[in-house]
Amino acid sequence: MERVTDVEMSVKPPDVKQVLLQAFGLPKAGLDICLCVIGEGPLSANEVAESLGYDRSTITRYLNTLVDMGLLRRSELNREEGGVVNVYHSVDLERMRRETLIGFYVWAGEAAALIEDANVTKQDYLDENPDQELPELFWESFRDK
pLDDT at residue 12 greater than cutoff 60:
yes
Whether 18 shows a pLDDT value over 80: the answer reads no
- Final residue before a domain boundary, out of 76, 91, 106: 91
Query: Which domain does 30 fall in, by range?
Result: 1-91
More confident residue, 141 or 90: 90
Query: Are residues 97 and 80 located together in one domain of the fold?
Result: no
Task: Write the DSSP assignment of 61-77 as a string of letters.
Answer: HHHHHHHHHTSEEEEEE
* Partners of residue 87 on adjacent β-strands: 44, 75
Which residue would you say has higher pLDDT here, 143 or 30? 30
Residues 24 and 53 occupy one common structural domain: yes
Do 38 and 27 share a structural domain?
yes
Asked if residue 63 and residue 9 are part of one domain, the reply reads yes
Are 24 and 70 within one domain? yes
Domain boundary among 91, 109, 134: 91
- Do 87 and 77 fall into the same domain? yes
pLDDT bucket at 7, cuts 50 / 70 / 90: low
Q: Is 4 left (phi over 0), alpha (psi -120 to 50) or beta?
A: beta
Number of domains in the chain: 2
Domain boundary among 46, 62, 91: 91
Mapped onto helix, strand or coil, the DSSP state of residue 19 is: helix
**22-61 tens-digit pLDDT:** 777 788 899 899 989 989 989 999 999 999 999 999 999 9
